[in-house]
Amino acid sequence: MALRARALYDFNSENPGEISVQENEIVTLDSETDIEGWLEGVNSRGARGLIPASYVEILKTSEPAPSLNNAAGNGNASRYGNIPTGGYDTSSYTTQTQNQNFTQAPAAFTSLSVPMQQQQAAQQNYQASQGSDDDWDDDWDDSSTVADEPGVVGGGSQDCHAARYRISTRSDTSSVYSRSGQQQSAKGSATVSRNLNRFSTFVKSGGEAFVLGEAAGFVKDGDKICVVMSQYGPEWQENPYPFSCSIDDPTKQTKFKGMKSYMSYKLTPTHTQNQVNRRYKHFDWLYARLVEKFPVISVPHIPEKQATGRFEEDFISKRRKGLIWWMNHMTTHPVLSRCDVFQHFVTCASTDEKAWKQGKRKAEKDEMVGANFFLTISTPPAPLDLQDVESKIDGFKTFTKKMDDSVLQLNATANEFARKQITGFKKEYQKVGQAFKSLSQAFELDQQLYSAGLNHALAHTGDAYDAIGEYFAEQPRQDVDPVMDLLALYQGHLANYPDIIHVQKGALTKVKESQKHVEEGKMEAQQAEGISERCNIISFSTLAEIQHFHQVRVRDFKAQMQHFLQQQICFYQKVTHKLEEALQKYDSA
C-alpha cells in the first residue's frame, strides 16, 4: 500500500536528488522511516527523489482536513515552533507581557535574547531565509529527538575571496555562528512567585524551578561539579585530566548512491589518541544537548550552517577554523570538557554504531539538565554576599555590552581593512608597478649600453610593486581572518550572556521576594533560607562562568593579537625585502 503524506511547507529542491513540493501537496512515500532526516518518494508531478522528513506529515487512513496546528511529523519540529514569526522585542532586561497570540512559524527559528543589534542582524537573515527557502542543508540532523529546524543561514556562496569582505559586516559577522539551542528569548523577569511566562529564560533554563526547590534527582559522584574560591573569586575547579582535540581537514563523503554528500571531520582528542569521524550534524546535535543541560554556562556557538557552496574550499577551511576555535573553547572549559555527552562525542569510535546510539540515547535522556544541573554543583562553604554578587553581575552586564559594541566595531573595521587590501591597496601598488614597467619599456627604446642596467632595474622595480600588490591581497588570510574568526566566536559568547545574567537576576529577585514575604509573614523563614541557599549556588556558578570567560578572553585576545602583529610584521618585512631586492638591481645600473 502506497504511503501518502502531505507537505506542511513549501520545499524547493536545491541539490540533485531532492524534489520540490508545495504546501499541502500530497506526495507518495516509499517508507515511513526517514534516512538521516530524508524521505524518498514521488511528488504530485511524478518527480521522484528526497524530501526533508520534517516538511511532511504522513496521512493516516482517517486523516482529517489539513490543520496547521498539527505541526510537523517529527515530534521535535514543533519544539521551537511556537515562536512569533516577527521575533521578540529584545530590548533586554525589561519586563514585558508575553504575547500569547502565537502563530505557527513555517520554518521554526530559534530566537535568542541577544543584544538588539545582533538580533536585528539575525532577523534579517531570518527574513532572507524565509523568502528564498534555500536554507535547507544536507548537514541537517537526521532523526528523532534533536531540534532540526532550518535555522539561520549565512550569506550565500563564499567562492569569491574578495566577496568575503562585504561592506555590511553586521549580518556577516552575526551569521557566522548560529545558535540552534534550547534557550529562547523572553523578557519577563520573575516578579511573581511563579512566572506565568513559560518563555522566560529563567523559567526555561530551570533556574526558577531550582530556586523554588522543585528540582530533584540523584547526583552521582562523577557528575559533581565544584566551584572553588581563587584569588580572583569563584572559579570552576580545573579539569584534572586536561586534553585538547585536533580537527583535521574534512573529507567529502556521499550517500544515497552519490546523490547526497557531506563533509566528515577527523577529530583526535589527546587523551585517547583515537581518531573519530564526525559530521556537522553531530556537532549540531551535541551543541543542542549542551545548551539544554547547562543553564549558566556559555556554550560556544558552532559555526554557521551554509546552504550553498558547502564543498567549496574557502567555506570548508573557514568552517574548520570555526570548529577548531569551538573545540578549543570546549576542551578548555572545566565543566563542558568533562561532561559525558562531550566525552562521548570526542571518544566514541565512529565504527561502533551501537555504542554511538547508546551514548546518544543516554545523553538525550539525561536527567541532570536545566534545573537539575544546579543539583550537581558543590560550592565553597561560605555563602556569597548578595549585594556583592548583584554588583558584580551588573558590572559584567556593562562589560559585555561595551565589549559587544567594540567587537562589532573591530569586526567591521577589520572586514573593511581586509577588503581595502584585497581591492584598493592591491590596485594602487600594481598601478605603480605598471607605471614603472611602462617607463622601463619606453627607456628600452634607447639602446645605449649605459642605459641597459637602468632599464633592467626599472622593470624589476615594476615587478616588485606588482608582487607587493599581491602580498596585500593575500595578507588578510594570514592576519585579519583569524582575528575575525575570534571575534565571531566571542560574539557568540556575548550573545549567550544576557540569558545567563537573566537566570542569575531571576534567582536574586526570588531571594528578595522571599525575604519580603518572610517579613510580611507570608512565608516561613526556613523556606526563604532554602531559596537563598539555592540562589547562592546559582551565584557561584554564574560568577565562576564569568571568571572563566575573562580568563579565556585574556588568553585568546593576547594570543590572537600576538599572532596578528607577528603576521603584520612578517608582511612588512616581506615588502621591505622585495624593495631591497629591487634596490640592489640599481647597484649595477
Rounded to a whole number, what is the distance in angstroms from the first to the last CA of the chain? 89
Among 380, 424, 519, 525, binds a copy of itself (CB under 8 A): 424
For cell 551569521, the residue is: 175
Helix (H) or strand (E) holding 268: strand 260-269
Interface with a copy of itself (CB under 8 A), residue from 101, 273, 445, 526 = 445
Q: Is 358 in the site for a copy of itself (CB under 8 A)?
A: no
Contact with a copy of itself (CB under 8 A) among 48, 224, 431, 522: 431
Among 44, 246, 391, 398, binds a copy of itself (CB under 8 A): 398
Which residues, in sequence order, are CB contacts of 202 under 8 Å at separation 6+?
189, 190, 195, 208, 502, 503, 505, 506, 507
Tell me how far, at minimum, the Cβ of 420 lies from a copy of itself, in Å.
Answer: 5
Among 59, 439, 518, 523, binds a copy of itself (CB under 8 A): 439
* Nearer Cβ to a copy of itself (259/410): 410
3-state DSSP: the chain helix, strand, coil percent, rounded to 5?
50, 10, 40
In angstroms, what is the minimal distance from the CB of 144 to a copy of itself? 42
CB nearer to a copy of itself: give 93 or 232: 232
Please report how close the Cβ of residue 395 comes to a copy of itself at its closest, in angstroms: 7
Q: Considering beta carbons, is residue 191 or 230 the nearer one to a copy of itself?
A: 230
**Sign of the C-alpha dihedral computed for residues 431, 437, 440 and 445 taken in this order:** negative
Site residues for a copy of itself, window 217-236 (CB under 8 A)?
A: 232
Is residue 168 near a copy of itself by the rule CB under 8 A? Answer: no
* C-alpha cell, 264: 566528515
Nearest distance, CB of residue 171 and a copy of itself, angstroms = 19
- Return the exposure string of 562-574: e unless at least 16 CB atoms fall within 10 Å of the residue's CB, then b: eebeebeeebeee
Q: How far is CA 205 from CA 132, 147, 468, 479, 501, in A?
A: 33, 16, 54, 38, 12
Residue 330 binds a copy of itself, judged by CB under 8 A: no
What number of other Cβ atoms are within 10 A of residue 434's Cβ? 14
- Among positions 232-291, residues that touch a copy of itself (CB under 8 A) are 232
Q: HSE-up of 40 (CA within 13 Å, CB side)?
A: 10
Residue with smaller CB distance to a copy of itself, 274 or 438? 438
Which listed residue (203, 341, 371, 575) binds a copy of itself by CB under 8 A? 575
How many amino acids of this chain bind a copy of itself (CB under 8 A)? Answer: 63
Residues 95-114 that bind a copy of itself (CB under 8 A): none
Least distance in angstroms from the C-beta of 223 to a copy of itself: 30
User: Minimum CB separation from a copy of itself for residue 502, in Å?
Assistant: 20
Question: What distance in Å separates the CA atoms of residue 488 and residue 301, rounded to the nearest whole number?
Answer: 9
Whether 74 and 54 have beta carbons less than 8 Å apart is answered as yes
Between CA 33 and CA 143 the distance in angstroms is: 10
Please pick, from the candidates 32, 388, 446, 524, the single residue that binds a copy of itself as defined by CB under 8 A: 446
For 491-558, the three-class secondary structure string (H helix, E strand, C coil) is: HHHHHHHHHHHHHHHHHHHHHHHHHHHHHCCCCCHHHHHHHHHHHHHHHHHHHHHHHHHHHHHHHHHH
- Judged by CB under 8 A, does residue 569 bind a copy of itself? yes
The Cβ-side half-sphere exposure at 253, using a 13 Å CA radius, reads 14
For a copy of itself, the closer CB: 38 or 425: 425
What x/- string results for residues 528 through 567 when contact with a copy of itself is judged by CB under 8 A?
----------------------xx-xx--xx--xx--xx-
Footprint of a copy of itself (CB under 8 A): 232, 395, 398-399, 402-403, 405-407, 409-410, 412-414, 416-417, 420, 424-425, 428, 431-432, 434-436, 438-439, 441-443, 445-446, 448-451, 453-454, 457-458, 461, 550-551, 553-554, 557-558, 561-562, 565-566, 568-569, 572-573, 575-576, 579-580, 582-583, 586, 589
